[in-house]
Structure 1
């Protein structure tokens, strides 16, 4: 059991978890823990003598990595607080492992790490230095979601590298300080306002009635269909990820048909799910499955900070559409529609409320909302050039976010060094072979990237497609970043690689 407020650590200074961080702490289930897993791969050998001082200087500089969570509070509200771990030992969190050579061995090990729960008595993270049987090294990191979301934790991991941090790009003035009344007159501006101040955006939404109306619309969404993705969870997680997919190739294929990188990547995922669900015996027909998509609400011109600062939107994936072009066209329209909606800020407010109610009630509300979706899809844009850690070139980076409550599948997209990588994390009961879904994704994306596919009729369908099923559930996806060796041409080093899509609708 986690330590309690007023126990052995009662004399130590404590700091309450933010409401949203507490919500993610309480989402833990025995069979589905809420944590983020990342892998950093190197072609050469990294020694513990080299890695340990980097962890001490750069990771432990963040107080959260030296603090544990303690529990308490009146009326069963389940308050949680951070306090310094009086028994902190780096040896408890940093270990060395040796595995066999090959991609499959690393995938199996990362799946083990994703399955093993973190120790609630101590800071909620672990780092494994992995010797890949003489075929290079990997650093596998696991951090609880209450410490930070995927956007924050990828930034923290990249702070371990040797290169100086990049200059954050500035937003136009209009995005940094939107007029207060614009939120009432044009609710679609709420997302932009949240980039400056999510709490202020919530205030305006509340006084204008938009918050209640949006929440009612989201609550009225029907439950997602019962497919193989809804099977009871086993607690065993398995992972897979692609090799590097050239971002420029995907971008050019999107531009040729009037679509975005996001449209093509999520279109490829939708096609892969269509094929996989068909193979499981779940008829696809004209049905859709719904994804939960995190939307970063941090100011893009501000410093990266730990904690959770994102909202959630619901995206209907058109698995019933028979062709790849039709799927991309439908997604393009739905993503465009989402840019006008304040859903991400409203769900940020819901998460904050969940973190301050009794844990049992929070779990009921969480289960209610997750019943409306079948998977999580997230993306984080990474650095455009190769980096180094302790003098060793970082060849590949991938991460996986949790799929909370009863959800069995999470898909992560990450850009790095001019390429896109896609990762799948799944419960073994629902998807025993995530590598098969990755392979289907690669095949779908290869088809979309064929020059002949970007025809004039395809561009016309993309611009004319109507948005979604008409129940208000249309959404947009933040910018991707992923990976895959597969049928696409290998990424070519470029001194000015194509920029990764932004993590928020423009």
Structure 2
């Protein structure tokens, strides 16, 4: 039996820790809205104790949620160890909106929670149960550090925490027994041994790479060219815009929903992908918003980072990041929505052929042998060539329930990189495409204007496809402007 147990973070997971600054927080979040009826208490509140027990009952399936960071001596690199002081009451918090709480109040609360850094001395997650939401609903704001989980893994996690069955009884809570953690001397000794073994490990990895590749030389040349193109992006930098600058301590959060069938109808009519439709919608909105902010969009080299999952089937269910990214220049010179979509479709097709995402993956693999101090500088430089993050994660298209409470919508929040004042995350669920907008409070003081531009852009794209414009929703999830 091992004297101690720990798990070293991958270079990619560790890079999310190195990117953090006092006003740059690398946690992801989601604001989920539920029907409150099945969990209402006699006094009209929410049965938070049952939510705690239900969460605690599945923690043995996701042990990372009971682990905290410990740093390797003399290195800017961390490992996961079991938290012997783990307490579910710290991680699941209970709050209430002034009844009847509005969507607008919930958005402000989510923005404040997103602006607070997670405590690195504890497991890096929180769930805020928010009662008092109008129309007999409650919300949960789920927050976790990016070093724990990426979007595709998060979909797996939601399948653990929720059920497609409305009748889902409480499971038995298993006692958490923390395993012994290494001392600082143990970590230093193991790190020294790991470094001695790196050449042998590199040779093994190369043999495995060669075994999976039909034309080794062509594959290496292709990835190196993709990597060189990314370096070129970083050297040139993106255009300065009103939404790019030093981040402050506060955040704004807002959301929007679209019927997924409307988006798929545009995709089918124009012969592209759902992601192309999303990026074209963002391009049209950015163009309109820049004009609103008195900036000529035709003069901008405006770039978005679009994360791409490289998670293999055998990785499903495992926490940690298996994600790369595309860097896409939005065609803001084009005023015609169809021309914008055609340009983006061509760009994404070329990116698939260029294997840019695999070039980034190769760079992160090389980072496993990079000194942490140098990796920190590289991680900071990598955030320089973009203006915005746009991430789109497909979710389940069936209703999900938690202790009988139906999940009505899930609005994701993506972290803001340094000098990047607006991030867009999308999650498709049960026939809806849910947009979440996380913004720096001062850089984007008029976030509802941008959301209206998103609506206008999609309506124009719909019309260009010969479809009717996006209908204005008057229901629960309509944006409040």
Same fold? TM cut 0.5:
yes
Structure 2 partner of 1:389: 402
| 395-404 or 290-299, larger mean C-alpha shift | 395-404
Q: Give 3-state SS (helix, strand or coil) of 1:229's partner.
A: coil
Contact kept, 8 Å, 1:23 with 1:354, in 2: the verdict is no
The equivalent residue for 1:21 is: 13
Whole-Å separation in 2 of the counterparts to 1:26 and 1:420: 32
- Aligned pairs for 1:58-69 (under 5 A) are 58-59=58-59, 61-69=61-69
Equivalence for 2:200: none
> Partner of 1:226 in structure 2?
240
Paired residues for 1:365-444 under 5 Å: 365-444=378-457
Q: CA deviation at 1:56?
A: 0.5
- Inter-CA distance 355–401: structure 2 relative to 1 (3 Å threshold): farther
User: How does 1:491-502 map onto structure 2 within 5 Å?
Assistant: none
Q: Show the counterpart of 2:150.
A: 149
Q: In the TM superposition, what whole-angstrom CA distance separates every residue of 1:444-482 from its partner, at most 9, and x where no partner exists?
A: 112222376469xxxxxxxxxxxxxxxxxxxxxxxxxxx
- The 1:490–1:416 alpha-carbon spacing in structure 2 relative to 1, beyond 3 Å, is farther
The Cα shift of 1:60 comes to 5.1
Classify 1:291/1:355 alpha carbon distance in 2 versus 1 (closer, same or farther; 3 Å): farther
The residue aligned with 2:343 is 330
Asked if the contact 2:306/2:325 (under 8 Å) is kept, the reply is yes
Q: CA RMSD of the aligned region, Å?
A: 2.5
Q: Where in structure 2 are the equivalents of 1:117-132 lying within 5 Å?
A: 117-132=117-132
Cα offset, 1:302, TM superposition: 5.6
* Higher helix proportion: 2
Single out whichever of 152-161 and 358-367 deviates more from structure 2: 358-367
Equivalent pair of 2:388/2:422 in contact (CA under 8 Å) = yes
Deviates more, 1:95-104 or 1:257-266: 257-266
Q: Deviations over 1:305-344 (max 9, x none)?
A: 2100011111111112111111111111111111102221
Does 1:41 find its partner at 2:53?
A: no
1:161 & 1:79 partners in 2: Cα distance?
Answer: 33
Q: Which residue is equivalent to 2:228?
A: 216
Contact 1:35 1:144 in 2 (8 A): yes
Quick check: 1:182 aligned with 2:183? Answer: no
Map Cα deviations across residues 129-176 of structure 1 (whole Å, 9 max, x no partner): 000345410111100001111221232133211227xxxxxxxxxxxx
Counterpart secondary structure, 2:353: coil
Q: Verify the 8 A CA contact 2:222 2:354 in the aligned structure 1.
A: no
Task: Give the direction of change, closer, same or farther, for the CA distance of 1:117–1:488 in structure 2 (3 Å limit).
Answer: same
- Which residue does the alignment assign to 1:79? 77
- How far apart are 1:247 and its partner, in Å? 1.6
Q: Is the 8 A contact 2:52 2:88 kept in 1?
A: no
In the alignment, structure 1 residue 258 sits paired with structure 2 residue 271:
yes
Aligned-pair CA distance for 1:257: 2.5
Partner of 1:480: none
- Counterpart check, 1:95 vs 2:105: no
Q: In structure 2, how many angstroms separate the alpha carbons of the residues matched to 1:391 and 1:186?
A: 53
Deviations 1:278-324 (A, max 9, x none): 11122112533111111111124763321000111111111121111
Q: 1:181 to 1:272 in 2, by over 3 A?
A: same
Cα distance change of structure 1 residues 160 and 180 upon mapping to structure 2, 3 Å threshold: closer
d(CA) in 1 for partners of 2:119, 2:418: 20
- Check conservation: 1:36, 1:142, Cα contact below 8 A: yes
Partner of 2:251: 237
Give the TM-score of the pair, scaled to structure 1.
0.77
Q: Deviations over 1:402-455 (max 9, x none)?
A: 233332221111110122111111112321233332221012112222376469
Match of 1:488 in 2: 470
Gaps (5+ residues) in structure 2? 38-45, 166-208, 474-481
How many angstroms does 1:118 deviate by?
Answer: 0.6
When structure 1 is superposed on structure 2, of 46-55 and 82-91 the one drifting more is 46-55
Equivalent of 2:287 in 274, 297, 319: 274
The DSSP-based 3-state class of the residue aligned with 1:364 is helix
TM-score by length of 2: 0.80
Describe the shift of the 1:117–1:302 C-alpha distance in structure 2 as closer, same or farther (beyond 3 A).
closer
Displacement, 1:348? 2.0
> How do 1:300-339 and structure 2 match up within 5 A?
300=313, 303-339=316-352
Question: Between Structure 1 and Structure 2, whose CA radius of gyration is higher?
Answer: 2
2:119 is the counterpart of 1:111: no
Q: CA deviation at 1:395?
A: 0.5
